[in-house]
Amino acid sequence: MANIYDNAYDLEKAIRNSDEFQGLKEAYEAVMADEAAKKMFDNFRETQINLQQKQMQGEEITEEEVQQAQQVVQLVQQHEVISKLMEKEQQLNTVINDVSRIITKPLEELYGTPEEQ
């Protein structure tokens, strides 16, 4: 029992010390240190969250909203400091998803994947 938590804290430390997390941290701090980039990034995040919430609540998303969201995405993709941050987020996400798949394997084996049932 204690063993699980010990291992979880070791893993947390390994994530924290990883190149992926350190790279993300630097990229995030670079965006936060640049007022215009920070504003653009906040706007991007807000747009994404709003659209996700609408989708989850089954609300209709207008064509105008889709176009606005696409414009915001294009803006951040063209912004070097922000696109660097998004790339670093993607890299750490991949690692976190791998980790999540590894540690939920016992459960997946027990209950079986949908395909195996």
Contacts with 6 (C-beta within 8 Å, 6 or more apart), sequence order: none
Site string for Ca ion, 1-40 (x = CB under 5 A): ---------------------x------------------
Q: Does 28 bind its own copies (CB under 8 A)?
A: yes
Q: Does 19 bind its own copies (CB under 8 A)?
A: yes
Least Å from the CB of residue 67 to its own copies: 23
Q: Does 62 bind its own copies (CB under 8 A)?
A: no
Q: Does 100 bind Ca ion (CB under 5 A)?
A: no
Q: How many Å apart are CA 29 and CA 33, to the nearest integer?
A: 6
Contacts with 99 (C-beta within 8 Å, 6 or more apart), sequence order: 11, 15
Q: Tell me the C-alpha to C-alpha distance, in Å, between residue 7 and each of 17, 30, 64, 69, 84.
A: 15, 32, 48, 41, 31
Cα 81 to the center of its chain, rounded Å: 17
- Contact positions vs Ca ion (CB under 5 A): 22
- Contact positions vs its own copies (CB under 8 A): 1, 3-12, 14-21, 24-25, 28, 56-59, 92, 95-96, 98-100, 102-107, 110-111
